[in-house]
Amino acid sequence: MDKKEEILKTALQLFVEFGFHATPTSKIAKEAGIANGTLFHYYKTKDELILALYAHTKSHLTEYMYAKASKDESLELVFKSIYTNTIEWAQENKAEFYFIQQFSTSPFYSLISPEEITKQAKPHLDFLQAGIKAVVLKPLPVEMLYTLINSHIAGINQYLSSEEFSTTKQKKIINESFLLLWDMIT
């Protein structure tokens, strides 16, 4: 078994449940079934562990987002695929998605360099820029579009998590909300 993975997995669960402050490294180690020292062998500090967990989780999401989106299709279909993938991932990986949000609205987020953040957003912004150039998306500032789309997704995800919807109902909501978003930005 991969201990590094095991540590991240355990830390995620505990951070989500108790928060960063109320999750001692000793508890992470114990729950992960390893010794205290082993944790610090892989991650020099608790902060480093937290940052690594964020990078890890974020890359999981990004990976999934662009999966299954063949570039042959229309911009709308590609966009919809990314939209749907993201919400599906969030629903299937609630703890992970919640962690990303928890991290992003915490002082830990400021530990990530602006360059890193810009780098992360670049492909998404480029994609939106292409949409504007193709006269499909409204000619709004891409950063504005990006933030609006992101928060829309966060909102829909929150709504989906607030009640117990059947899978069919969920798909319906996703389709419906996509149209709302699409109408707003095109």
Partner DNA sequence: AAAATGATTGACTAATCAGTCTATAAATAT
Partner DNA sequence: ATATTTATAGACTGATTAGTCAATCATTTT
**Residue pair 83/181 in contact by the 8 Å Cβ criterion:** yes
Question: Can you tell me the distance from the alpha carbon of 116 to that of 134, in angstroms, rounded to the nearest whole number?
Answer: 28
Pattern 22-41, DNA, x by CB under 7 A: xxxxxx-----xxxxxx-xx
Among 1, 21, 44, 139, the residue binding a second copy under the rule CB under 8 A is 21
Site for DNA, residues 4 to 23, rule: CB under 7 A: 22-23
Pattern 38-77, DNA, x by CB under 7 A: x-xxx-xxxx------------------------------
C-beta closer to DNA: residue 35 or 67? 35
When CB distances are held under 5 to 8 angstroms depending on the partner's kind, the choice from DNA, a second copy, none that residue 36 binds is: DNA
Among 144, 171, 172, 175, the residue binding a second copy under the rule CB under 8 A is 144
Find, among 69, 104, 61, 68, the residue nearest to 86 by Cα.
61
Among 108, 120, 132, 136, the residue binding a second copy under the rule CB under 8 A is 108
Question: Can you tell me the distance from the alpha carbon of 83 to that of 167, in angstroms, rounded to the nearest whole number?
Answer: 17
- For residue 2, the surrounding DSSP H or E stretch is none
Alpha-helical regions (H) of the chain: 3-18, 25-32, 36-42, 46-65, 75-92, 94-104, 114-133, 142-162, 167-185
Residues 6+ apart with CB under 8 A from 77: none
Q: Is 22 helix (H, G, I), strand (E, B) or coil?
A: coil
Q: Which two tokens stand for residue 50?
A: 């937290």
Count of residues that interact with a second copy, criterion CB under 8 A: 38
C-beta closer to a second copy: residue 73 or 143? 143
Q: Is 186 helix (H, G, I), strand (E, B) or coil?
A: coil
Smallest gap, in angstroms, from Cβ of residue 13 to DNA? Answer: 15
- Contact between 3 and DNA by CB under 7 A: the answer reads yes
Question: Can you tell me the distance from the alpha carbon of 169 to that of 142, in angstroms, rounded to the nearest whole number?
Answer: 32
| Residues at the interface with DNA (CB under 7 A) | 3, 22-27, 33-38, 40-42, 44-47
| Residues at the interface with a second copy (CB under 8 A) | 16-22, 98, 101-102, 104-108, 140, 143-144, 147-148, 150-152, 154-156, 158-159, 162-163, 173, 176-177, 180-181, 183-185
